[in-house]
A and B are shown apart, each in its own frame.
Chain A
Amino acid sequence: MNRRGFLQLIGATGAAALAASCNRVSSAVGTLSSSTNLIRFPEKTEMILLTDRPPQLETPIHYFRQDLTPNEAFFVRWHLEGIPTSVDLRTFRVNVSGHLRQPLQLSVDELRSQFEPISVIAVNQCSGNSRSFFEPRVPGGQWKHGAVGNAKWTGVSVKSILDRAQVKSGAVDVSFNGLDVPPLPSVSDFVKALSINHARDGEVMIAYAMNDQSLPMVNGFPLRLVVPGWYGTYWVKALNDITVLPKAFSNFWTDNAYRIPSGPNGTESPKDLAKDTVPINRFNVRSIFVRPDPDETLHPGMPNEIEGIAFDSGHGIKRVEVSTDGGDTWTDARLDSEIGKYSWRRWRASWTPRDRGQYRLMARATNAIGETQSQGQWNRSGFMWNVIQQVDVKVG
């Protein structure tokens, strides 16, 4: 069959799929929207549906009341339609090649048995988490605050693999590719790269376990790159290729996509777009309310528990302040103990409102080097949202 025939056939089956509908549950989850669409994917619980093909699934906020986000509730974001749906561990290999002396083909069993395992608790957050809050609105995945999660990742350091592969001098970048494939030859394969020094820092790792279990297929089974403190775009899923390069890596996904204005906090004006852009990189500081529910009515004259999470790129959260009067006055929240520098840190505050009425709650996190959250922010791609969150609640 020629190429056009293929395309016509795919178009026809795609059209047939328009009417198909699986496992759909429409309900109000009481978190953010009364018209939230929930869907259950294999190995996943009911998630907020953004798109089904390729899947983009958001975590309902109440899961963030747990320090570690359950695998079944961890957010999902793929770029290319051809995502892996079947992996045979007998034949699966991660290929390590390029500017090195000893190319390797490693099975998951070999990674588990021949290398020293390491673990880290780390936040993974989509570059576009909270994109739907930007004004003016920008095209892209319309996430609310649930394209983030915190998990214990276990695997082997990329450094230990590259050491065995004996990288030659003059290496510049290391690229990482997964099993996902573009739907058309004209679409760039999703490949990301890190500098050789970053890849060899001993923290960047290939995870074969997430919260001590295998990864769900849609979260990158059997192997996923973990880049602590960096946005999820670098955390390549279903990783099966590592290539060491003697020159800077270049492709659509780094040269054109996932770039931020080079100025402070990746911000620019809609009327005056930044000329200079850089690849998105480390998380900025942010905080997310997990309690109360937006639909919850609080009680006057008694303590109400307010709770949230805060994280940054690894310096550590040192302070979270809470306002219950729309930002006029602030008091320090209590911080739970740190469970890892790349983990999020839980904060709590007890609030006793005297009177019934409407109140605006706000939370502002600050990290160990004094970085804090923004008052206002915009960029054309809807990346790196960290505006101080406002939650309107009713006391009645």
Chain B
Amino acid sequence: MGPFVAVMFDGFAYGMLLFLISVGLSVTLGMMNFVNLAHGAFAMLGAYVTVTLMNGYGWTFLATLPFAFVVAGLASVAFEQTLFRPLYRASDLDQVLLTIGLVFMAVAAVAYVFGTESQPIHIPDYLRGFVTVGTANFAVYRIFLVAVALVVSVLLIVGLEYTRFGAQIRAAVDNQRMARGLGIDVDRVFAYTFALGSGLAGLGGALAIEVVGLDHSFALIYLIVMLIIVSVGGLGSISGSFVAAIVIGISDTAGKYYFPYLGAFLIYLVMIAVLMWRPAGLFGRR
């Protein structure tokens, strides 16, 4: 029983990490239909902010996290205003190509500035080790991950449901034209949402270093996982991303535990199966 619970928890924690990284992409895709493959670059940016602050300036891990969030968010605003805005009406393909081009540039730039080695960080001792409950071991860092993700999720949901801005977001996702017609400044709403989503990606990236490691190809590797979560969860749906992330996280971890020879296979099969059953994703709209 012990291993089963531990594996489920590990998968859940991994899923929470993936959720943080992907939720921004889901919302922006749902709202503006803008395929932003550069989302992974923002996650990578947040991770490198943390690495620089910790290894270069001696900050503690927790202190760097808000900065990872803010820097990634601000950077995304710059891109959104200049490069992305002209392409909202462009075809899927053009958006894919533009944003992939940006990812390539980001990966190369990072290799240039930081080198190609993997970037280690040393998390504080109170986040290390594990906690034993019964026969199962729960890693302290993963508990921390889950806690952060849950807090973020609650804040997001509360924000969406109970604030005016949240209502505007929901309106813009549901029916953009109508929202504009009602006087909502959709472009501004989108800019803020985009920043928020990218900031969360940056935070997720920073948290991910300890679990999956960081090097210059991070943005490309996790891009694929992000796309899987977003398409499985459904565009524009936070709860969709949440559920999809958990499903993917657990499938991946449990899959590797129970069927090690299936390796990474399982998440692709899951994605294909879900998309064939529901092309718009589990909680998607169209």
A and B bound? Answer: no
